[in-house]
Structure 1
């Protein structure tokens, strides 16, 4: 059983992995994974009635948002899903840029639906000492 650590950038994942032992698998989500649709054609056909009038939101339901997986992120999500199914814990490791990472973390939780404990770690520096303390 391993612990999945998800960070934003591939280079950060590589560096952090070098500081940790084999109990940890450090992977990158490569930035944002979902967002509001960019156009009406990005809205799934079965949801066009609700989310097509005002692209990405349902104005008749308190402006409920519709989030879609960003193009090219499907393979990233599938990879993370596969790893997290075998993990005993998931750690979402944020950058200093908390606004973006809060959104990214929330979207990852929504997509991955982990059945194991989820923790958060915030890295203010990427050094061996800071990573092992976190």
Structure 2
């Protein structure tokens, strides 16, 4: 679902590939490394009911405006591929994968540290 929507954003010229990746990695993405989508929403308001009172109509309205599932092919595929290759050339994929894996290893280590911390606010 996420890939479909970010594809649509690029296809419609709303965002480019760099913007999509920035929104995901610097927006809610860091929270999702430690919390799920529903707990994030629960914490972003005075509970989930309050979150839905505040944001559900807008979320619903935006969701209604989304078109059909985009096909990942054709001109949009070529443009997404071009933009990605500008940032990460094909011959650098293995190097980038190693960087990604090192980051994930560090994140896993950090998550272990966080898991050892007191679970403030959680029901026992």
Q: TM-score, normalised by structure 2?
A: 0.21
Which structure has the bigger radius of gyration? 2
Query: Which structure has greater helix proportion?
Result: 2
Q: TM-score, normalised by structure 1?
A: 0.20
Query: Which structure has greater strand proportion?
Result: 1
